[in-house]
């Protein structure tokens, strides 16, 4: 009887954990949805300035980072399948690959931002203050939204590192992997946000 009750409690804990993650994701979507709305309003006001400013970004780096995140979403989804099939080694490998892709994304973003900083183009710089209002708004939004997204990448990496440790220790296994599921959900959110950010910021026509 006690084992049955323990099983019910664990099931309830798992459901509560999943619900909590979905609620958190919903609030994140509201946050970025609000930012996308602000972006849309300013873009409608300054279409030419936004287009001209977008030409300063590297579409190549944007495409590479998009492919990197899409691939990482695939590998973390495969990791869940692997743990369900009791393949611990493959699970660890796939989580590791996901982390590697996340690091590659941040490295690309570092070089992209670094190029802007070298030319004096960053929030609060003299150059930013001299820009026309439309250009200034575009780059302010660009740095804020990509910076916020990068922060989410870092948080996601921390979650996945915890998942890796838990899988390695055996606390995440084939019949108890809700933490890994939640980590994957968060990572899919990070991917989804970038899928919207990339065309909005890099492919303005």
Kindly report, residue by residue over 78-122, the tens digit of the pLDDT.
Answer: 999 999 999 999 999 999 999 999 999 999 999 999 999 998 898
Residues forming a β-bridge with 176 = 173
Tell me the CA distances in angstroms from 38 to 16, 41, 67, 137, 193, one per residue in order. 33, 5, 27, 10, 15
The whole-angstrom separation of Cα 199 and Cα 178 is 33
Average confidence (pLDDT) over 119-146: 92
Domain holding 114, by residue range, is 2-202
User: According to the model, what pLDDT value does residue 6 have?
Assistant: 47
Taking the C-alpha atoms of residue 28 and residue 182, their distance in angstroms, rounded to an integer, is 14
C-beta of residue 157 within 8 angstroms of C-beta of residue 99? yes
Q: Can you name the residues that pair with 173 across neighbouring β-strands?
A: 176
3-state secondary structure at position 36: helix
Predicted confidence (pLDDT) at residue 9 exceeds the cutoff of 60: no
Q: Which of 61-65, 116-120, 143-147, 148-152 has the lowest mean pLDDT?
A: 116-120
Give percent of the chain with pLDDT exceeding 90: 78
Q: How many whole angstroms separate alpha carbon 23 and alpha carbon 44? A: 31
Total domain count for the chain?
A: 1
Residue 158 φ/ψ, nearest 5 degrees: -60, -45
Q: Is pLDDT above 60 for 14?
A: yes
- What per-residue confidence (pLDDT) applies to 20? 86
pLDDT at 70 over 80: yes
Q: What confidence tier does 45 reach under pLDDT thresholds 50, 70, 90?
A: very high
Gyration radius from the chain CA atoms: 20
pLDDT score, position 34 = 94
pLDDT at 48: 94
pTM of the model: 0.88
Buried b (16+ CB within 10 A) or exposed e, 139-149: bebbbebbeeb
Alpha helices in 85-176 (DSSP H): 88-118, 126-130, 133-169
Q: Is the pLDDT of residue 10 over 70?
A: no
Confidence of residue 11 (pLDDT cuts 50, 70, 90): low
| Cα–Cα distance, 105 to 64 (Å, whole number) | 8
DSSP state letter for 176: B
Residue 4 clears pLDDT 70, i.e. is over it = no
List the CATH number of the domain containing 113: 1.20.120.80
Q: Is the dihedral of CA 134, 138, 141, 147 positive or negative?
A: negative
Which helix (H) or strand (E) element contains residue 23?
helix 2-45
């Amino acid at each position: 009887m006690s084992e049955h009750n323990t099983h019910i409690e664990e099931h309830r804990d798992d459901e509560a954990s999943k619900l909590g993650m979905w609620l958190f994701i919903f609030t994140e979507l509201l946050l970025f949805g609000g930012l996308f709305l602000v972006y849309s309003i300013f873009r409608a006001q300054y279409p030419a300035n936004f287009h001209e400013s977008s030409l300063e970004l590297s579409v190549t780096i944007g495409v590479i980072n998009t492919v990197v995140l899409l691939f990482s979403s695939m590998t973390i989804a495969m990791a869940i399948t692997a743990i369900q099939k009791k393949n611990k080694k493959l699970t660890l490998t796939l989580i590791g690959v996901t982390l590697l892709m996340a690091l590659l994304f941040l490295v690309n973003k570092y070089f992209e931002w670094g190029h802007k900083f070298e030319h004096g183009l960053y929030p609060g710089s003299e150059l930013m203050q001299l820009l026309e209002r439309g250009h200034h708004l575009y780059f302010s939004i660009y740095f804020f939204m990509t910076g916020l997204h990068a922060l989410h990448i870092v948080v996601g990496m921390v979650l996945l590192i915890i998942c890796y440790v838990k899988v390695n220790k055996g606390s995440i296994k084939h019949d108890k992997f809700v933490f890994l599921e939640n980590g994957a959900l968060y990572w899919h959110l990070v991917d989804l946000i970038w899928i919207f950010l990339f065309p909005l910021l890099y492919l303005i026509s």
